Amino acid sequence: MSEQVASLKAVVDNHGTKPVLKVSGSVLVHASDFTITVEEAVPQGFVPQELILDVTVDQRPSPMKGVMQPFSFSKVIGDIDYQSVRARFNLEIEDVVASVEPA
């Protein structure tokens, strides 16, 4: 059985005047002193319906067992019809992809 190292969920909230894509996830962190930054990747990929996010985990070494830590990202999307969100990590783990669901 392999250990889960990252998770991702994406929903479109249509309750406001413009739709908002809300992304939440978590990543396994092995430090008590860390920061997680989430930004839109530049450039984006070839598929306009997939939003690519760069998730950067900056950890200072510490003797700690791995713990899942949350991160989030929100974007007003207007007329863009995202079908999926891909999180790329600066760690040695594979990308995580989530289908976009209605809220």
Does the residue 18 lie in any domain? yes
Does the residue 16 lie in any domain? yes
Does the residue 63 lie in any domain? yes
Q: What's the domain range around 68?
A: 6-102
Domain total in the chain: 1
As a whole number of angstroms, the distance between CA 86 and CA 8 comes to 8
SS3 of residue 35 by DSSP: strand
Does the residue 1 lie in any domain? no
Q: What is the pTM of this model?
A: 0.89
Tens-digit pLDDT profile for residues 38-96: 999 999 999 999 999 999 999 887 777 888 999 999 999 988 899 999 999 998 889 99
Q: Which residues pair with 7 in a beta bridge?
A: 26
Residue 1 has pLDDT above 60, yes or no: no
Where does the pLDDT of residue 16 fall: very low under 50, low under 70, confident under 90, or very high at 90 and above?
Answer: confident
Does the residue 80 lie in any domain? yes
